[in-house]
Chains A and B, each alone.
Chain A
Amino acid sequence: MKQLWLTAKLDIVESLRARWFQIYTLVFGGIVALLFLFGLTESRVLGFIGLSRLLVTYIQLTMAILPIFVLITTVRSVAGDREAGVFEYLLSLPVSLSAWFWGKIVGRYIVVFAPVFLAMLGAVIWATIQDIEVPWDMFGYYTALLAVMAMCFLGIGMLISAIARTTDMAQGAAFMVWLFLLLFLDLILLGVMIQGKVAPEIAVTMALANPLQVFRTAALALFDPQLIVLGPSAYVILDLFGVTGYKIFALVYPATIGALSATIGYFIFRRGDLP
C-alpha cells in the first residue's frame, strides 16, 4: 500500500508540472468563470434559472470535453513516459507492478477529477456568497456523474496505453475510440433507426452501451425526468429502469467499464515488456 501511495503521489507531482494539466485546469476553471461572467445564472431555459442553469450547461460542456481530454492526456503521458525511458528507470526500483499501475491510476484520477470538481465547487461557493440558491441534489448527482465519467475514460485510457507501444499509436487509438463513441451517440444510431432495420429496443440498448450516451441521458434526466427530449426512446429507457433505476445505472455502468478496462490493462501491462 505504501508503494501504491508513493507512486500515486509521484504521478500527481509529475502531472501538476505538466503543460496538459495547466491547460486542463484552465479550461474547466475558465468555463465556470465564463458562465458566471456571461450572466448565465440570470438567464432562464426550460424553467431553469440560477445555479441549476449553470450546472446544466457546465455538465453538458464537460461531457463534450472531458472524455477526449482524459483519453488523450492519459495515453500521451503514459505512452510518452514509456518511450522517454521514465518506465525503464522508475521500474528498476523495487516497486511491485500492481502498486505501480494502480498507483498511477489513483494519482491520475485525482489529477483528472480535481479540476472538474473544484470548478463546480467554486461555482457553488460563489453562488452561496451571492445568495443564489444551490440545488444540492443536482450538485451531488453531477459530482457523482463526473466522478464516474473520469473513472470510465481513465480506465479506457490506461487500457489503450497498456496495449499501444508508441505515443502516436496510443494517441490515434484514443482518438478513434472517442470518435467511435461519438458517432454512435446519434449519427449512426439515428441512421439505423431511420432505415428501420433494427428494433427500437435493440437501438436503445446499443445506445446505452455507449458511456457517452449514458452520461448524456443521465444529465438530461435530471432536468427532464420523463426524458421528453429523447422522444419514443424514453419509453424504452423508463420502462426498463425507471427514473431512479436509470440514475443508478448511469453511475454503475460507466464505473464498471472503467474498472474493467483498467483491470484488463493491468493484466496486459503485467504480461508484456514494461519499458
Chain B
Amino acid sequence: MIQFNNVVKTFRRARVLDGISLNIGLGERVALIGSNGAGKTTLIRCLLGEYTHDGSVAINGLDPRSNRTTVLGNIGFVPQLPPPLKMPVGQLIDFSAALCGTDPKRIHAIARRLGLDLDGILARQFVRLSGGMKQKLLIAIALGRDAKVLVMDEPAANLDPEARKIFFDLLAERLEDATMIISSHRLDEVSALVNRVIEMDMGKVVLDDEVADAVSMTASLACRIVLGRFEPAFAKALDGWHFTSDDAKLVWEGSIAGPDRLRFLGIISRYTALVSDLSLAEARD
C-alpha cells in the first residue's frame, strides 16, 4: 500500500533521510519511533508530498506529490504541533470537510465522542483552544472521513486518560480498513496501538520488527492499588486517571484502557516504594 523506495532527503548539506526503503501493507499499524532529529517528521512530510526528495514514495502506486488531491484525499493526518490558525473552529471543520468531501457532522460526532463541547467552541478561534482541545479536534478531522491511511504524529500526547480510551476505541473501529503510521519519541506511548515498530536514527531505519498483536484496543483493565502511606503527588496522578479512593486515600480503584497499560505502569513505577498491593484484571466479555 505504502512504498518508500531509497528515499533520500538533504537539507543543505545535512542528509536527514538516508536511503529509506519500506513497504507498509493495508491494515498494518506502524509505530515510527526515534529521538529528535531521527527523521520521523521528514519521512512523514515526504509521505504527504510536502517535501521534494530523491527516490520514490508511492501510496497505492501513486506519487503523493503529483497526485495530491487523490492521494491526500485518502490520508488523515494529525500533526504533532497544532497549527496556530486564527479561524473559528466551525470554519476549520467546514473547510476540511469540504476539501475532503465528507459531512462536517461526522467530524462533529467524533469530536463529541472525544469529549469536546463542540457547541461551545464552534465560534472560538482554533488558536485559542487548549492543547488537548486542539488535539481532539485535529483527531476528529482526521478520523471524520474515509481515510485509508492515518498518519499521526504523537496523537495522544495531550489527551487525558478518558479521551485516550475513546481515541483507542476510535482507532479500533478502523483496524480493518486503514493503515496507521503513528510517530512518537517513546515506544511505550504507542506500543499497544501497533503491530509493527520502525525505529529511525540519523535518517536510517535501525529496527523494523513485528509486535505481538495481543492487546485489544477496546479492552479495559480494572485496577486496584493499595498504598503503604498517603502521598499527595501520587494521589494527584491517580486522580488524573479518574481513580477513586477510600477515605484514608490508601486504597485506589479505577479502570484503564488496555493499550494504556504500559503507560500507566510507567507512572506507577515512579512510586514503587509506596505500593503495597497492586492488581490489574482484564475485564471479561
Contact = CB atoms under 8 A, between A and B. Distances in A.
A91 B50 contact: yes
Main secondary structure of the interface of B (DSSP, over half): mixed
A17 B86 contact: yes
B91 A6 contact: no
A88 B84 contact: no
Best-surrounded residue of A13, A87, A93, A271 (most CB of chain B within 10 A): A93
Nearest to B99: A93
Contacts of B138: 89
A102 to B, nearest CB: 15
Interface residues of B, number: 32
Interface in B70-107: 70-73, 75, 77, 79, 81-88, 91, 95-96, 98-100
A6 B95 contact: yes
A252 interface: no
A164 to B, nearest CB: 15
B99 A6 contact: yes
Contacts of B87: 10, 13-14, 17
B131 to A, nearest CB: 14
B68 interface: yes
A90 B87 CA distance: 12
Contacts, number: 83
Interface residues on A, range: 20 to 34
Given A2-B98, A6-B98, A92 B84 contact: no
Nearest to A272: B52
A32 B79 CA distance: 45
Given A18-B86, A90-B83, A274-B51, A95 B68 contact: yes
Contacts of A166: none
B99 A273 contact: no
16 contacts: A3-B99, A13-B87, A17-B125, A85-B79, A89-B82, A91-B48, A92-B77, A92-B79, A94-B71, A94-B100, A95-B72, A97-B68, A271-B52, A272-B52, A273-B45, A275-B50
Interface of B: 45, 48-52, 68-73, 75, 77, 79, 81-88, 91, 95-96, 98-100, 125, 138, 151
Interface of A: 2-3, 6, 9-10, 13-14, 17-18, 84-97, 271-275
